């Protein structure tokens, strides 16, 4: 994995098939016939482990790290979070930006669960470093940000407000070729959001939030077990 420890990190996070790798290729300027981050039209995990490349924005270099789909992959979420933490730990300058890539489609319960889990994993400390990126938007939504904002469900719009209204649109390559103006404008907006972020998200914060999430999961399991034992005692007493 190509990772320069002297450069800050830009993380790509989302569920399988959300378009993380596609956006990563856009940001590093990789041509479609020579992708840095492999992509697939199928709804399956192509990114099996964290992979990285070098991204240049206005003569400033960044590590851009593509991650496996969180919470819906065969590896499970915990190993992936540990892998992300290890990658970030190698970089002296921490995480500059965390790009949460989300499909611009009808909001489902599964998507809500993914967003909730990402928020729990990252914690409040990451609020100032998050950029929400819509992927797979239609032509009208991509051409007009007001339409995308109007189509946004309350759960997502509330989250975007919490992170300082930092959001962008990853242009759909099936609709907008790289040489089209809309493609260039939307990609530039995301880059401008990245360089506008002040401060970094550190491995210490990431580890703290990961431990908190594990504690919450363990507490939930303990509570469920206790309920099961109580019900068992009641039933035994009844008979």
Q: Give residue 40's pLDDT.
A: 62
What is the C-alpha separation between 184 and 198, in angstroms, rounded?
24
Strands (E), 137-206: 167-169
Q: Please answer whether residues 26 and 75 qualify as being in contact, where contact means their C-beta atoms are separated by less than 8 angstroms.
A: no
Supply 74's token pair: 């065969």
| Local structure of 32: helix, strand or coil | coil
Of 176, 77, 171, which is closest to residue 121 (Cα–Cα)? 77
Chain mean position to CA 107 = 16
- How many other CB atoms are there within 10 angstroms of residue 97's CB atom? 26
What is the C-alpha separation between 217 and 97, in angstroms, rounded?
27
Q: Give residue 140's pLDDT.
A: 96
Q: Could you report the average pLDDT of every consecutive run of 10 residues in the chain (239 residues)?
A: 79 87 88 69 59 90 85 60 73 87 82 81 87 96 95 90 96 93 97 94 64 58 60 57
Map out the domains of the chain as residue ranges.
9-238
Cross-strand pairs, 126:
none
| Local structure of 55: helix, strand or coil | strand
| Residue whose tokens read 């009808």 | 106
Cα first-last separation, the chain? 62
Q: Thinking of the domain 9-238, which architecture would CATH place it in?
A: 3-Layer(aba) Sandwich (3.40)
């Amino acid at each position: 994995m190509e990772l320069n420890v002297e450069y800050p990190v830009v993380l790509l996070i989302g569920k399988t098939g959300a378009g993380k790798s596609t956006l990563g290729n856009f940001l590093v300027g990789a041509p479609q016939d020579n992708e840095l981050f492999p992509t697939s039209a199928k709804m399956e995990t192509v990114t099996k482990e964290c992979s990285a490349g070098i991204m240049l924005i206005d003569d400033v270099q960044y590590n851009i790290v593509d991650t496996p789909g969180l919470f819906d992959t065969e590896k499970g979420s915990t190993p992936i979070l540990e892998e992300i933490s290890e990658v970030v730990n190698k970089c002296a300058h921490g995480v500059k930006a965390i790009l949460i890539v989300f499909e611009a489609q009808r909001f489902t319960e599964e998507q809500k669960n993914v967003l909730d889990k990402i928020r729990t994993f990252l914690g409040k400390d990451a609020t100032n470093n998050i950029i929400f990126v819509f992927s797979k938007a239609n032509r009208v939504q991509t051409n007009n940000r007001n339409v995308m904002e109007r189509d946004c469900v309350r759960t997502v719009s509330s989250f975007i407000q919490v992170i300082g209204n930092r959001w962008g649109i990853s242009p759909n390559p099936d609709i907008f070729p790289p040489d089209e103006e809309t493609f260039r404008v939307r990609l530039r907006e995301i880059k401008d959001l990245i360089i506008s972020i002040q401060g970094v998200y550190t491995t210490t914060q990431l580890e703290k939030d990961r431990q908190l999430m594990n504690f919450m999961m363990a507490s939930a399991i303990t509570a469920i077990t206790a309920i099961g034992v109580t019900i068992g005692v009641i039933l035994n007493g009844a008979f």
